[in-house]
Chain A
Amino acid sequence: MTIEEVRQIILNILADIAPDEDISSIDDNTKLRDQIDLDSMDFLDIVMELRKRFNIEVPEKDYEHLATMAGCVSYLTPLLKNRPLASS
């Protein structure tokens, strides 16, 4: 999976979690929760989706890596690089 594909996956997950938010203009280096209305339950949803879709387990100590889009991409790309783009 490419960096762009990983980014798109995060966007898809965010779109499911926060359907009323405009996610097209997300800035990669600003905290996600400062741009869209996300609470700790929403981050838990991201973790559950990643497990469900890709069998990736994000331990609690690594949640901080998911704070920004850039953080998500750099944390998840190595974990997903050998995966084909799964349909979800």
Chain B
Amino acid sequence: MNKPPRNWLKGVLSAYDTVVIGSGLAGMTSANLLAKLGHKVLLAEHHYNMGGMATWFKRKGGHVMDISLHGFPCGMIKTLRKYWTQDISHRVIQLKNVRFDNPQFSVNTSFDKIDFTHILRERFGILREVIDEFFLTVRDMNFYDEVVMTTRELFEKYFPGRTDVWRFLMEPITYANGSTLDDPAITYGIVFSNFMDKGVFTYQGGTDHLIKEMKQELLRNGVDIRTHCMVEKIYVDDKTVQGVRINGQDIQCKSVLSNSNLLTTIEQLTGEEHFDPEFIKEVKKVRLNNSSCQVYMGIKTGETVPNVGDLLFSSEADEYCTDQILSKDVTSRTFSFYYPEIRPGTNRYSIVSSTNARYQDWANLSESEYKKDKHHLEQTTLDALEKYVPGIRKKVDHVEASTPKTFKRYTLHPSGTSFGTKFEGLKISRDLPKQINGLFHAGSVGIIMSGWLGAANYGVIVANETDKYLRQLSPSLVTASA
């Protein structure tokens, strides 16, 4: 006889102040903050693991593979301290060896302003005044500015015709937040400036450790965490959030903070009929960002990999080119090297290769074609890595690939998008509560709010809006928590 399915909602309350949909970094951060501010929060995650894209998986042979949490700006230390815990923030360490290798140049850098200034002068021969002015311009870019300039135009202004310099400045940011030369320059400037402040950092202990720590903190603050719980519907009546349906069960709530994809939140979870037609017209213009392919390579127990860089931007393409970077026969890869320092005491190594990819290139293949193409991706990645880690095929004992289809399956994001939506999504995300009282969205939108620091901070910004809304509904909350 089959066992009855487990009830993942056992013991759930009939009503909450806020239901947070999805436990990505933005969702978890907002859930934690709202709970600390005294609200009753349910955090619903459809997957069995928390973390969204900040996730990991284990394989036989003691392999732990980190999906994507590898490299964020120094500002993350402060964000983790303020909205999570001291202990979590103390685990952030710097990745000091960022490396570029392509037909135009081969460079190692600590990826901060001092070193970039030096390299731009000495290696690329750019005048000091030009470099300083460029840094000032990108630093002063403000989210509230009406900037229409694209990153390409920005580069053309300061480094005309210097596609080598463009590549040096652009490749890492494409990796960090999915933006390209043709996106608004502000989407480049803010993230680039954040990194240039002090360099690239990561979390010591690995993604599994970070998410476990965050889960403990959420529980300490009273968040009701429910994995295997799919939010199927957001109930709206009289332009106001009433509740949600999770795994077929109705639960009341005063507000919803969706960390699901923006378009999914509007079109599927809420329903277009609840919004102004003019608003929906704007929603239809929102473009999804691209997705990714990754290859995970686990190194055998006892084998080592010399330090060839923490992040390696490798390419055989003559120039940086957005179209080429998305194409299926891409040669532009970012290798993230996980040395034992990332998980002290384990003495294990792993390498993750990431490339940008289009969903449609992978979505419509037959099963055998899909398998064949994945195998090809794995093999060409190992070939490319051989240049940097000779004998790599003898060192690895686990190789597997993920595609935009894999990303879609685990995150439920339309087209498996790994950086949410393009720039125009930000305004839609911000305007949701003006359409429906109590409906909020925090997630990867508009590129500024993408990348790890952006995601966490956007979670805080939206939690602030949600708190404001909830306190207007129940002014008595104040005395309770003051």
Bound-complex Cα distance A45 to B478 (A)? 16
CA of A51 to CA of B468 in the docked complex: distance in angstroms? 8
- A12-50 interface with B by 8 A CB criterion: 17, 39, 41, 44-45, 47-48
Q: Which residues of A contact B478 (CB under 8 A)?
A: 52-55
Bound-state Cα–Cα, A55 to B475, Å: 8
Within 8 A of A (CB), among B76-96: 78-79, 82
Q: Is B457 an interface residue (CB 8 A)?
A: yes
A88 at interface by CB-CB < 8 Å = yes
Smallest distance from the beta carbon of B269 to chain A beta carbons, Å? 27
* 27 A-B pairs whose Cβ atoms sit less than 8 Å apart in the complex: A17-B82, A39-B75, A41-B78, A41-B457, A41-B460, A41-B461, A44-B460, A44-B461, A44-B464, A45-B82, A48-B464, A48-B467, A51-B467, A51-B468, A51-B471, A52-B37, A52-B38, A52-B481, A52-B482, A53-B478, A53-B482, A54-B478, A55-B471, A55-B475, A55-B478, A86-B482, A88-B482
Chain A contact residues, majority secondary structure: helix
Q: Which of A41, A51, A87 has the most CB of B within 10 A?
A: A41
Q: Which of B433-482 contact A (CB under 8 A)?
A: 457, 460-461, 464, 467-468, 471, 475, 478, 481-482
Residues of A within 8 A of B (CB): 17, 39, 41, 44-45, 47-48, 51-55, 57, 86-88
Identify the closest chain A residue to B461 (Cβ): A44
Q: Are A47 and B464 in contact (CB under 8 A)?
A: yes
Pick the contact of B482: A39, A44, A54, A57 (CB < 8 A). Answer: A54
A44 → chain B, closest Cβ, in Å? 6
How far is it, in angstroms, between the C-alpha of A84 and the C-alpha of B40 when the chains are bound? Answer: 28
How many Å from the CB of B413 to the closest CB on chain A? 26
In the assembly, what is the distance between CA of A88 and CA of B478, in Å?
11
Apart from A51-B467, A52-B481, list 5 A-B contacts with CB within 8 A.
A44-B460, A44-B464, A51-B468, A52-B482, A55-B475
Neighbouring B residues of A51 by C-beta, 8 Å? 467-468, 471
Q: Give the complex CA separation of A48 and B470 in angstroms.
A: 13
